[in-house]
């Protein structure tokens, strides 16, 4: 297909509302770029992965996605890089940018759908609906949500039941650069997944991810420490984390309660979130189960 005919097809696509990301499709987009790990996951879960021509650097799941050209980091996209894969539709997580790049893409009449990030079951459903609407795959979304929506509810309810009256306090550790702990506060994906899995975020004092002093970390006295699994030797990494001075005095380190999980399934809020809730809930309350 020539560039011109592809473009003329693209002209048929109109972006109705960027926030809602609703698109009226004259013809379905053939060359789709997905930006954001969970957006890519959803495109594949909808069975529309074959329409993708490129993805951003945060899209590492499923494995097929990694074979696609990488257009770079979601917040620092270059306009020519995106245009070079001649997309007719871009589906991106909220916060993709910069604005200059988005302006050029709009000028090139490339349809753009923004997918909101809300860290709740309703947020997952909205994301799936938004991506499906952009792809014109509403029927497939209905089928997928038929499985996912009740599954999320069940997983959440089970986690709540398991937590009962005494929910565990969970500290999310994003990174430990130079021995300093960067922890997850309110309004983060980590906070959202901890709550859904029946835990309490040990940090209530601030929003977002922030570095904390050792004393402040110790004072949060978490029962469980949650971290991302960056691959490599599992056991050693766990020991390293538990031997940080700030964590040694915490109940979590004393009892060896460290939970690690692949970052994308942990914080992605996508099709796998129900499974994530189940795994985390089991890990949080394994002592009770025994």
Partner 1 sequence: MRLAAEATTQNRGQAQGRSTGAPVDRRHQARRLTLALVALLLVTSVSSLTFGAAGTSVWSAIGNLIAGRELSQLDRIILFDIRLPRLCLGILVGAALAVSGAVMQGLFRNPLADPGIVGVSAGAGLAAITAIVLGSMLPVSLRDTLGNGLVPVAAFFGGWGSTLILYRTATRGGQTSVATMLLAGIALGALAGALSGILVYMADDNQLRDLTFWGMGSLAGATWTKVLAALPVIALALCAAPFLARGLNGLALGEAAAGHIGIPVQRVKNIAIMAVAGATGAAVAVSGGIGFIGIVVPHLLRLATGPDHHPLLPNAALLGATLLLAADMIARVIIAPAELPIGIVTAVLGAPVFLWILLKRRAGLGL
For residue 181, the surrounding DSSP H or E stretch is strand 181-184
Sort residue 222 into left (φ over 0), alpha (ψ -120 to 50) or beta.
beta
Q: Is 78 in the site for partner 1 (CB under 8 A)?
A: yes
Q: How many residues bind partner 1 (CB under 8 A)?
A: 37
Residue 186 binds partner 1 (CB under 8 A): no
Kindly state whether residue 71 participates in binding partner 1, applying the rule CB under 8 A.
yes
Q: Which of 17, 26, 47, 84 binds partner 1 (CB under 8 A)?
A: 84
Residues 6+ apart with CB under 8 A from 264: 37, 38, 41, 58, 60, 61
What minimum distance in Å lies between the beta carbon of 1 and partner 1? 13
Query: Which of 208, 213, 221, 245 is in the footprint of partner 1 by CB under 8 A?
Result: 208
For residues 92 and 198, what is the distance between their CA atoms, to the nearest angstrom?
Answer: 30
Q: Which stretch binds partner 1 (CB under 8 A): 81-89, 148-156, 162-170, 239-247?
A: 81-89
Alpha helices in 85-204 (DSSP H): 99-107, 121-135, 138-163, 189-196
Contact (CB, 8 A) for 151 and 274: yes
Query: Is 220 among the residues that bind partner 1 (CB under 8 A)?
Result: no
Measured CA to CA, the distance from residue 126 to residue 142 in angstroms comes to: 12
Query: Which is closer to partner 1, CB of 69 or CB of 146?
Result: 69
Stretch that binds partner 1, among 23-31, 162-170, 197-205, 209-217 (CB under 8 A): 209-217
- Does position 100 interact with partner 1 (CB under 8 A)? The reply is yes
Beta strand pairing status for 209-212 and 181-184? antiparallel
Check: CB of residue 106 under 8 Å from CB of residue 112: yes
Contact call for residue 118 and partner 1 (CB under 8 A): no
Q: Indicate the residue among 108 and 219 with the shorter CB distance to partner 1.
A: 108
Interface with partner 1 in residues 119-138 (CB under 8 A): none
Among 86, 201, 264, 265, binds partner 1 (CB under 8 A): 86
Contact window for partner 1 (CB under 8 A) among 15-23, 104-112, 129-137, 246-254: 104-112
Stretch that binds partner 1, among 36-44, 91-99, 124-132, 226-234 (CB under 8 A): 91-99
* Helix (H/G/I), strand (E/B), else coil: 212: strand
Q: Measure the CA–CA gap between 264 and 269, rounded to whole angstroms.
A: 8
Of 99, 166, 236, 289, the one binding partner 1 by CB under 8 A? 99
The nearest distance, CB 127 to partner 1, in angstroms, is: 18
Footprint of partner 1 on residues 156-185 (CB under 8 A)? none
User: CB of 54 within 8 A of CB of 36?
Assistant: no
* 35 torsion bin: left (phi>0), alpha (psi -120 to 50), beta (else): beta
Name the minimum Å distance from CB 268 to partner 1. 15
Provide the edge-to-edge strand list for the sheet that holds 32-35: 52-55, 32-35, 89-93, 111-115
Interface residue list for partner 1 (CB under 8 A): 3-4, 7, 54, 57, 69-73, 75-76, 78-86, 95, 98-101, 103-104, 107-109, 188, 207-211
């Amino acid at each position: 297909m020539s560039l011109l005919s592809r473009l003329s097809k693209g002209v048929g696509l109109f972006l109705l509302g960027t926030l809602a990301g609703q698109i009226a499709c004259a013809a379905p987009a053939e060359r789709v770029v997905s930006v954001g790990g969970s957006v890519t996951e959803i495109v594949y879960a909808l069975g529309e992965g074959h329409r993708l021509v490129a993805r951003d650097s945060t899209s590492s799941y499923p494995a097929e996605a990694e074979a696609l050209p990488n257009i770079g980091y979601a917040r620092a996209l270059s306009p020519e890089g995106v245009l070079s894969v001649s997309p007719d539709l871009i589906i991106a997580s909220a916060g993709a940018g910069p604005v200059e790049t988005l302006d050029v893409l709009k000028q090139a009449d490339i349809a753009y759908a923004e997918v909101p990030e809300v860290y709740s079951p309703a947020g997952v459903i909205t994301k799936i609906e938004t991506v499906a609407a952009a792809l014109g795959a509403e029927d497939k979304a209905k089928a997928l949500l038929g499985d996912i929506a009740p599954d999320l509810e069940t997983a959440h309810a089970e986690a709540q039941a398991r937590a009962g009256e005494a929910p565990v306090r969970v500290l999310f550790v994003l990174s430990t650069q130079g021995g300093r702990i960067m922890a997850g506060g309110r309004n983060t994906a980590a906070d959202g997944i901890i709550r859904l899995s029946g835990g309490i975020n040990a940090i209530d004092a601030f929003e977002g991810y922030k570095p904390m002093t050792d004393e402040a970390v110790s004072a949060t006295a978490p029962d469980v420490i949650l971290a991302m699994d960056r691959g490599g030797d599992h056991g050693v990494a766990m020991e390293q984390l538990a031997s940080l001075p700030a964590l040694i005095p915490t109940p979590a380190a004393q009892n060896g309660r460290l939970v690690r999980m692949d970052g994308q399934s942990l914080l992605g809020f996508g099709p796998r979130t129900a499974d994530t809730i189940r795994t985390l809930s089991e890990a949080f309350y394994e002592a009770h189960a025994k």
